[in-house]
Every structure is written in structure tokens, then in C-alpha cells.
Amino acid sequence: MSPSALAQTAAALSDDASPSLIPPHGGVLKELYLPADEAALLKQRSAGLPGIDLDTRQLCDLELLLNGAFSPLEGFLSQRDYDRVVAEYRLADGTLWPIPITLDVSEAFAERLVVGSEVALRDVQGVPIAVLEVDDIYRPDREHEAQQVFGTTDRAHPGVAELLDRYRPVNLGGRVRGIQPPSHYDFTTLRDTPRGLREWFVSQGWHRIVAFQTRNPMHRAHRELTLRAAQQVGAKLLLQPSVGRTKPGDIDHYTRVRCYQALLPQYPANSARLSLLPLAMRMGGPREALWHAIIRKNFGASHFIVGRDHAGPGNDSSGKPFYGPFDAQHLLERHQDELGIRIVPFPAMVYAANRDAYLPSNEIEPSDEVRDISGTQLRRHLQEGSEIPSWFSFPEVEKILRERHPAQAARGFALFFTGLSGAGKSTIAQAVVAQLLERSSRAVTVLDGDEVRKHLSRGLGFSREDRDANVTRIGYVASEIARHGGVAVCAPIAPYANARAEARSLVEAHGDFIEIHVATALEVCEARDRKGLYAQARAGAIAHFTGISDPYEEPVQPELRIDGNGGDPLVLARQVVSLLEQRGLLRG
């Protein structure tokens, strides 16, 4: 630890709620909210400032900056801090920090700013949350960032896909001043700030606290793991699930929190505390595990449980895991002296049927009858209504999951066709709709590009910003259809990868997103053009025409790529239906 950090730590011991609690990272809890009278004045003045409405990730990051969970950060990273975090997981002053916390904006917005500008940071309703004092404007290399931070540029990694396809090209760095916390109307008694939770620990006489990070419902194996870990270090337990944004396809946080609440009585009295963390996870494996430990240190935890493949996103495009099962444990063990928070590495807990007990995987004997249920198998049990073994979960947790995922319920999804004008998207989509209605009673809604332009997106032009807005609107409507168990069939051109990724993100919050690239050669599309649009575009009569004067960014990893150069639409539609059957999406 640097001399300045040591001095900060010494100062914090007299300033913190209790000297028996671990000091925050860097020594001082950096709470960035202004006093009420100053905040009121800044709120009034913010109405005249250039502003941006933050997306979910940015809003989560801002909330944790403001309440001190990201201490010692005082704002979004400048380029000096960003470069060193990416290269060495340290800030420019040498303080350990593994994940870039950046505010990305469009080129058009950045062009309105200079160093010294102020920017109002608002939530999705336009409510001002904070003001950024811009001290840096820079354009990072996203491919380099992906390779350094995530160890890959494979878009099968959700963090990489978001970074490369949804982050905007310019970063703003600078200090933030908080006006008011973001509004939350759910589970309000469980949403602690670092200072609030630290004060609660002191009031309860807790000073050895082991934190557990989770993004999935907890079952018997998780309860056994956390109990054993707490007993191993003689600590109380902090269950702190991430409820900001997790991996696409995860169970919604409302259901997960209800499961955690149902699980709490399974712990001894006054031994466990449930507290929610509005964290936008990156699924960054070892680096993310280090980040999680720093955040828990800021909340007052003295120990942190690191399990197998902590914050891992699964397998890459070739089917291999992105990270080794113990990479996160090894990285944190190398840095725990500097961190201050102690690491509790723990193997997976497995059920030995012959002993009727859960055991650490490294204590299993060859004669043991090991049983397990994967996440996929659990979802199948819920879908089919079949029995879930009592050794796997608790009845109270199972009841909540079955309420949320009733047996035989149809899961909503969106088919998102993309390709050049004239590629055959609408024709194939019509054939798919006919096939779906022929074999199912599912509600199907078609969001065709031309019809959407006429009704939903009337008034939008064909600039990149307007095209992105059009696709985002389609994604939003499709997400609402999927949320209610319906099927959305979308057929826009959708030329830009970032807008398609945004549509995917919206839909995957509620259902499945199936991207279908209708890959048709430009010359074939021009030959089919009955309206003469391509000829007008080549003559300069139509500006911003995809394939002629504007680019089409082909999907890198669509769920399905169809050769639209001359195949029978019915045959091509059957490829789509076959994929849906393989995914179990045609029930109902």
C-alpha cells in the first residue's frame, strides 16, 4: 500500500463508525452527495446544463460511486486512471482497482463539451441524480480494453458483447457531485449504503463479517457453503446479492430476493444479514472477483467468499470456459495482503447421497454417490412440473420459483431478422409466422420495418441516431411482448451492431432473443428492388442508404444465418422453426 493510502487508513480509523471494522478501500469512505442546500441549488441549475439519461449500467455505477461503494473513486475515470486500470488493474496513483468505471457517450454529445463543462446525469425518467465536472474527454480502444479486462474479444462473453457493441465511442472522465439517490421502490429496507450497513454492524456488535456474492437463487448447497465458510473464520454472514444487472437470462431480481428472504430462517438467529447491491456485473471472472472484494470491504466486510469460477460467464464460442475454475481465487490470494479484506476460498459443495450430506468437493471419496442438478436441469423441472429432490432445495424456495415459472408456461421470445433492403427478411418472416400459427396457439406480433416506420417511428429520419432509435423502439415493444409470453417477429434492416445489441438486451430481460441474419448479396438485393430505391441511392437521390452510402455491420454471432440469395422462403422458414424446436420455445 502506498504511503498516502496508509495515511488515509490511519485517518479513517478515527473517522469510521468503529475502529473494529475494516477501513474502506483507500482509507476513506468517499460519499459524493452534496449537503441538502447545495444539492437543491445544483438540481435547479442542472436544468440548464447539457445532460444524458443514463442506461442501467451507468445508473448502477453512478449510485455506487455516490454512496461510497466504489471508494476511493470520486467520479468516472480519466484517461490516466483508465489506461492503468486496463493495463495493471490499478489507478494512476497505484491503488488497486480492476474494473474501468467509465461514462461512455456519443460523438455528437461529446462534440458539445470541453474540459471544464458540466453534465447533468439523469435517470430514465429524466430526474437529475448528479452533475459531472468534465476533466477529460477521450476515445478508448474497446478491442484492447476487452482483451485486457476480460482476456478475450469473443462476443459470446456478455461483458465483451456489451463493451464492443453497446458502449458509445467517447469516455468522459471527472468528479461527480450527487444531488439525490436514484429511486428504488422495491425491497427498500434491504437497500443499504456502505455507511448505513457499517453503522448497523456496529450496533449489533459485528466486526468479523464474511460476505457472499450471488446472482442466482440460493439452494441447500449454497447454504451449506456459506455456513461452513462463516464457521471456518468465526464470522457473521453478509448475503449481498447483485440486483442491478446480471447475466442475460438470469432469473429476475424480484424472484431472487424473495428466495433469499425465504432462505434466511435456515441460518442460526443473529448470524446472517441480507443486503442488496445495485451492481451492474460485467461477468469478468478474476478481475470482477477482485472488484467484488473491494466493494464488500467498503461495506465493512472483513472476509469474502470466493467460490469456483467466481463471476464467470460460462463457455466461449468454441465451448471452452473463459476462465479457469480457480483463477479468481489465485488472483485474490496474491493481493489479499494489500486488499486488507481476507479471502475465504471455498470449493463447490456437492451432495453425497450415501451420506445424506453436503460436502466440499475436495472431501468426496471414490465410494461416494455424488448427485447434482444443473441450472438447465432445474429449469426443466420447473417447466415440466416434475419433482425437484428435497436434498437440492428448500420447499419455501421451490414454491417461489414455481410461482414465477409455472409448469408448461410458454416463454416469450423475439425473432429478430436483419439484413439489407431486399434481402428477403419480410418474406421469410411471413413464412415463419404462418408456420408458427399452423402448429401453435401462441400470440404472434409482427413488427415489420416499413410498418414500424409508418406508425411507431413516424418522424424519425435515417441518420445513425434515428436508425438506432428506431431499432431500440422495436426492441422495447418486442421485450414487452416477450414479457407477457408472446412471440415478436421483427424484420428491420437494423444495420448497426450496437442498436441490435441494445434490442437484444431489452428482450433478454424477459425472454429469448433469436437474431437471424438474412445474408443476401448486394447485387441480388438490387436486382429484386421493385421500388427502384437502390438506383435512386446510387444516383444520389437518397442519402444514408444502407449498402450504398451507409454501412451494414453484419452480425458476428447470430443465432442463425440464412442464405437469402435464392432459397425457397418456406424452406428457409423451416430452418427458423427447427431452431425454435431445438430450444424448446414452441410449447403452447
Q: What is the 3-state secondary structure (H, E, C) of 126-186?
A: CCEEEEEEEEEEECCCHHHHHHHHHCCCCCCCHHHHHHHHCCCCEEEEEEEEECCCCCCCC
User: Which residues, in sequence order, are CB contacts of 320 under 8 Å at separation 6+?
Assistant: none
- Cα-atom radius of gyration of the chain, to the nearest Å? 26
Residues present in the chain in total: 588
Neighbouring CB atoms inside 10 A of 401's CB total 22
Q: Cell 472522465 identifies what position?
A: 173
Catalytic residue among 102, 214, 470, 546: 214
Distance CA 382, CA 376 (A): 10
CB 526 within 8 A of CB 534: yes
**Is 142 one of the annotated active-site residues of the chain?**
no
Copy the grid coordinates of residue 154: 469473443
Cα separation, 412 vs 552, in Å, equals 28
Catalytic site residue from 84, 177, 215, 473 = 215
Beta bridge partners of 587: none
DSSP 240: -
> Which value, to the nearest 10 degrees, does the dihedral of the CA atoms of residues 398, 360, 303, 332 take?
-110
Which triple of cell numbers denotes residue 381? 423441472
Residue type at 404 in one-letter notation: R
> Which one is catalytic: 56, 90, 208, 216?
216
232, 358, 415 from 365: Cα distances, Å = 22, 13, 48
Cis peptide before 72 (omega within 30 of 0): yes
In the residue annotation, 152 being an active-site residue is answered as no
E strand segments, 320-371: 342-345, 349-352, 357-360, 370-371
Query: Catalytic annotation on 498?
Result: no
Amino acid identity, residue 237?
L
Question: Which among 46, 24, 25, 22 is positioned nearest to 34, based on CA atoms?
Answer: 46
Distance between CA atoms of residues 466 and 554, nearest Å: 19
Q: Is 360 helix (H, G, I), strand (E, B) or coil?
A: strand
Q: How far apart are CA 332 and CA 342, in angstroms?
A: 9
Angle of CA points 234, 239, 244, to nearest 5°: 150
Give the rounded distance of the alpha carbon of 564 from its chain centre. Answer: 33
| C-alpha dist (Å) from residue 78 to 54, 84, 132, 330, 520 | 19, 10, 12, 29, 43
Q: How far apart are CA 294 and CA 70, in angstroms?
A: 8
Instruction: For residues 90 and 80, give the distance between their C-alpha atoms in angstroms, rounded to a whole number.
Output: 10
Place of cell 456496529: 202
- Residues facing residue 51 across a β-bridge: 120
Rounded to 5°, the CA angle 194-199-201 comes to 95
Between CA 114 and CA 582 the distance in angstroms is 52
The number of beta carbons lying within 10 Å of the beta carbon of residue 267 is: 18
| Gap between the Cα atoms of 229 and 235, Å rounded | 8
Catalogue the active-site residues: 214-216
